[in-house]
Structure 1
């Protein structure tokens, strides 16, 4: 079975409501992106990252070794339209698949930048208010 590395930084992480999409995947550890991304909250429903180059920071998340079947059959269908599959760079130099913000998606009024050192889960824990549709 062919597998790929998938970086997740939102509700697909351990304990999140989308983590069941990765039930067949192998957890490969907690990791951070290279320091070249910005991290956004979409109305405190889901997060997204966007490559910015030198003015970014290292976004925390989790890495999974996932089959193509689970990636395309279980995880991707549950991702929001504002995100798309892409390749990112991790802080150790490796590359991984990840969901990233589509072009123009961060221009909406309900999008705010996340700067919490604990990422999405820390952002939610320390005062984010659930947006329309609850918590994703």
Structure 2
């Protein structure tokens, strides 16, 4: 089992939630305030450890087989599994923006900084 922080499509009601194979949520959570939070092409969120924003999410104690076989393959290629700090100082796995793609995506205009919201659902509601 692995504690994973989800902050986008894997959250309840999101398009990737079914990839969790019925794993129950442990709790709602927030990251430590040390990230930038982006919308990538308006289609999915991405955290990057380069800022001062806290991000809203959900924690799941996910079986590693589910992580390997279902969740990771469903994630966009710009993301990878990393370890983040939570608000309470503990750690969890999370999908984070790959360092190698940050500058190219910023130059192309494919990243919108939504750190001021820190919440994917709030961003989606401002877009609609």
Any stretches of 5+ residues in structure 2 without a counterpart?
A: none
Q: Which has the higher helix share?
A: 2
RMSD (Å), alpha carbons: 1.3
| 1:111 and 2:107 are equivalent in the alignment | no
Cα distance in 1, alignment partners of residues 117 and 28 from structure 2: 14
Query: Offset at 1:104?
Result: 3.2
Select the residue among 8, 14, 32 that pairs with 1:10.
Answer: 8
| 1:71 and 2:67 are equivalent in the alignment | yes
| Count, aligned residues | 124
Alignment of 1:34-45 (within 5 A): 34-45=32-43
Alignment of 1:113-128 (within 5 A): 113-117=113-117, 119-127=119-127
Query: Offset at 1:65?
Result: 0.6
- TM (norm. structure 1) is 0.86
- TM (norm. structure 2) is 0.91
Equivalent residue number for residue 89 of structure 1: 85
Any stretches of 5+ residues in structure 1 without a counterpart?
A: 129-136
Cα distance in 2, alignment partners of residues 42 and 117 from structure 1: 15
